[in-house]
Structure 1
Amino acid sequence: MVSSALTALTVPGTAKASTSAESYTVWHWNVAGNTLNHGSATNGMVRAAVASIVARGASFVSFNELCINQYQALVTGLRNAGWPADGANFARFVVTYPATSGGPCSGKDYGNAIFSKQPLGAAERISLPDDGKTEKRKMLCAPLEARPRLRFCSTHTTYVDAYRSSQLNAVLRKLEAYHANGDTVVIAGDFNLQPNSARLDGYYSSTLNTPNNRGNTGRYRELDDADPNDCPGYGELTVSTPDSKGACGTGTKLDMIFAREDKITGTYSGDSLAPPTTCATNPGGLCSDHRVLLGAVTLS
């Protein structure tokens, strides 16, 4: 069942004490900014997002499928709500489909975004292997200005099956390069695969071994991967309309928040939030075909 509260969990055998550990709340949403919201910044989606970010006390925020005017409205809305500590330096955008006549978002730029309650440093915009589509998939990362070894990233990888592995591998290589450089990284996004896909075995830690997700060889934990009440190893659905799919038949999960397990201190948790239904211009008022994914983690 999708809950509104976070369940705290401990990384088995991997938690490490750290005097510099800090706790963070991560908020991610694929908002279908063009597909469902038709590029509108005034139909209720932006308002619902701002209200949720503030109410949930988010530290980091990730958006997929966002139109540039929606991004600008989010910047204004979050600033007016008093959410960022520095209203001038808390948001970054990456274009995946540039403005063009006949393109998405009524011809405006389209892409992904990250926001941070604390000021951000310079962003890095990494191109992923080309999948042959007009939209060029990217990975967007930025460090905290005051803690430059802590980076937050967002990505939205391809649905084109022949290119899934190459894009996922490129993202993982970049995460590991950051780690080798001494950085702690959290990444959120729509990975267009379910957690029990073999293509994600290199992400999920080998310490994660459940009937719903096994054979893993990686070093990362997904913040909703160990809740004993919601398909352990898989997590809660992130599509807006419940279905009978997923490892436990409780719904499809495509959105994830990963952190390297050796950087996690103590407990971590995840939750899938029911989507807002206040976007009157959309069928059923649904503001997106995805749910918000919320995670809490303490990182060294």
Structure 2
Amino acid sequence: MRMLARLMVAVVALGATLLTGGSARAADSVVETYNVWQWNVSGWKMNRASTTTGMVDAAAASILNRNTDFAAFNELCWSQYKALQDKLVQNGWVSAGTSFARFAAIRNGEEPRQDPACGYEQFGIAIFSRQDLGTAKKYDLPKDTKGGVNKLLCAPLAARPHMRFCTTHITSDHTDIGGSPINEQQLDAVQGHLEDLYNDGDTVIIAGDFNARPHLRRLNDWYSPTVNGPNNGNNTGAYRELDDLDPRCPGVGETTVLETSGDGTPIPTEEPCDQRPKIDLIFVRESLIAGPYSGDALGEGTGCGGGPCSDHRVTIGTVPVRVKV
């Protein structure tokens, strides 16, 4: 019933957009529906770069169970990335020899630093696709104070080059660097790259850890004004987030974190809906959405020794989009 309610609301909310938005591309496009899956897996903080804690198995099983087309990972170690590829091939999500995964290092193994993330192997973000991927683009984001370089990672489908899937992990650092907070600079940089892709005729789905709650000012130029309401207002952007119709917190959606962080620190509830933060987001440009969409955050899971594998929840969504052919 909850999903049906969201879909009914979505039809009404999108009515005006579907009549006008993206009309310039309607004649030379097709509509494709994609199931999207995203997880910040705490590959180092909670799994210590291991491939045998249960996280890899839990992630692969969830991707298969959710009939996923695109999957995004944050905080993933290189060995875990390779193990996920093997597991997905073994379970028939893709065939051996297909080109379905891409990785971007935020920290490289040879980097000297105090925190040996992933035991000095590469630590970063990754995307997986049930269809072959083309050449990936890895965009460096403005550098924070934590070391390494945060990235935006995007790749097109090989058979549908104007359909791109992206992921990013925005820093939690809010230090003022050069006159503005570095997390805002990174968000602006990601949005600038997405605008360039859109202007090139591409349809983009981006899923990742944005380290920003939907109602905060720094996401106002992401969310469309059609989202504006008591929980999330003053928006001027072009995007919808796939869980923004959740009736429990319209305009925001459901929390994507657990009750405690990876180091055991309690995560408190907060406004606007008296829940823990929602920071893992799946965005699609509103004018390219071609029908009802939905999103959800899954439970905490017990795949790692009877407990959770990460302090984030898996975030999923389904969306039909127009894609230039």
**Paired AA for residue 118 in structure 1:** Q
How far is 1:125 from its partner? 0.3
CA contact (8 A) 1:226 1:232 kept: yes
Structure 1 residue 191 corresponds to structure 2 residue 204: no
1:288 pairs with 294, 310, 318, which one? 310
CA distance in 2, matches of 1:85, 1:23: 22
CA contact (8 A) 1:246 1:253 kept: no
Largest Rg, 1 or 2: 2
Partner of residue 262, structure 1:
287
**Which deviates the most, 27-36 or 7-16?**
7-16
CA contact (8 A) 2:41 2:76 kept: yes
Q: TM-score with structure 1 length normalisation?
A: 0.93
Structure 1 residue 155 corresponds to structure 2 residue 155: no
Partner of residue 252, structure 2:
234
CA distance in 1, matches of 2:296, 2:248: 9
SS in 1 for 2:291: strand
Q: Percent same amino acid among aligned pairs?
A: 47
Structure 1 residue 127 corresponds to structure 2 residue 145: no
CA distance in 2, matches of 1:118, 1:5: 28
How far is 1:4 from its partner? 9.0
Query: Structure 1 44/220 Cα, relative in aligned 2: closer, same or farther at 3 Å?
Result: same
Q: TM-score with structure 2 length normalisation?
A: 0.86
How far is 1:6 from its partner? 9.4
Per-residue Cα deviation, 1:7-31 (whole angstroms, up to 9, x for no partner): 4223242125856100000000000
Partner of residue 252, structure 1:
277
CA distance in 1, matches of 2:31, 2:166: 19
**Paired AA for residue 302 in structure 2:** T
Partner of residue 57, structure 1:
67
CA distance in 2, matches of 1:31, 1:207: 32
Q: What are the ranges of 5 or more consecutive residues in structure 1 without an aligned counterpart?
A: none
How far is 1:107 from its partner? 1.4
2:16 pairs with 4, 9, 13, which one? 13
Q: What are the ranges of 5 or more consecutive residues in structure 2 without an aligned counterpart?
A: 175-180, 260-266
Query: Structure 1 126/168 Cα, relative in aligned 2: closer, same or farther at 3 Å?
Result: same
User: What is the number of equivalent residue pairs in this alignment?
Assistant: 294
**Paired AA for residue 318 in structure 2:** A
CA contact (8 A) 1:4 1:271 kept: no
Query: Structure 1 123/214 Cα, relative in aligned 2: closer, same or farther at 3 Å?
Result: same
SS in 2 for 1:70: helix
How far is 1:244 from its partner? 1.9
**Paired AA for residue 197 in structure 1:** L
CA contact (8 A) 1:4 1:273 kept: no
Name whichever structure is richer in helix by fraction. 2
CA distance in 2, matches of 1:89, 1:150: 16
How far is 1:133 from its partner? 2.1
CA distance in 2, matches of 1:50, 1:165: 33
Partner of residue 273, structure 1:
298
How far is 1:246 from its partner? 4.2
Per-residue Cα deviation, 1:132-186 (whole angstroms, up to 9, x for no partner): 3212100000000010001000000111112011100000000011011110001
